[in-house]
Amino acid sequence: MDKKNRAVVVYDLLFERYGDLNWWPAETPYEVIVGAVLTQNTTWTNVEKAIAGFNGDLHPELILNTDIDALKEIIKPAGFANQKSAYLQAVTRWFMRYNFEVEAVSSEPLEKMRTELLAVQGVGQETADAILLYAFGFPTFVIDKYTMRLCERLPLEAGKTYGQVKNFFESNLTESVPLYNNYHALIVMQCKDHCRKSPNCEDCPLMDMCQF
């Protein structure tokens, strides 16, 4: 089976098991941005606790106008509050260049927006791609630790670096925001259920094609 077919088959098997997962879990595009920063080096459960600290009033002006020490206290459940508070204000200042308008960002070229985001303090490739895909609807595939683990386990021969694995998926799939969105979500679900650090292979939907 060639690489393209393997990429598609993995998606089909995971979709058959888990369906459409309707990611990213957020009320607004700006909440996606905040969540993408807060989820660095922590669990989503902790991110939810931090976001709950805004009491349903999470918006860009609040992040920029809140005293930095107060902001640290709000996001403390997500860990690394000193760094992440600065990162949140930095990425919000970037968004301010576009008057906090989603349409203004999404109308720009993908590569321009990705380059800009990667220049923002605290925004690496995974965070940038998550923001671009889930907040602004750009067709860019998100690679995280789960994706790297799955590719290595099967294996998918997708490469070793972030860029190589990203290129593998984007080259072997139809360019599609909904597809990239759900594929990433499916991989996360698969790795939480089965492709854990210590694998749980029982009833795994990828059992027949996995060489692990």
Q: pLDDT, tens digit, for every residue of 133-160? A: 999 999 999 999 999 999 999 999 999 9
- Percent of the chain at pLDDT > 70 equals 98
What residue numbers bound the domain in which 98 lies? Answer: 29-135
* Structure tokens belonging to residue 209: 């094609």
The alpha-carbon radius of gyration of the chain (Å, integer) is 18
**Tokens read off for 97:** 């260049």
pLDDT greater than 70 at residue 4 = no
pLDDT at position 174, please?
96
Q: Evaluate if residue 89 carries a pLDDT over 70.
A: yes
Q: How many domains does the chain have?
A: 2
Does residue 3 surpass a pLDDT of 80? no
End residue of a domain, out of 97, 113, 135: 135
CB 78 within 8 A of CB 46: yes
Say if residue 130 is in the same domain as residue 145: no
Together in a domain, 200 and 107: no
pLDDT at 212: 83
The string of DSSP letters for 142-176 reads ---HHHHHHHHHTT----SSHHHHHHHHHHHS---
Outline where 60-141 has alpha helix (H). Answer: 60-65, 68-75, 81-96, 102-106, 110-118, 125-130
pLDDT value at 35 more than 80: yes
DSSP 209: G
Q: Which residue has the higher pLDDT, 122 or 3?
A: 122
Query: Which residue, 87, 115, 135, sits at the end of a domain?
Result: 135
Q: Same domain for 36 and 110?
A: yes
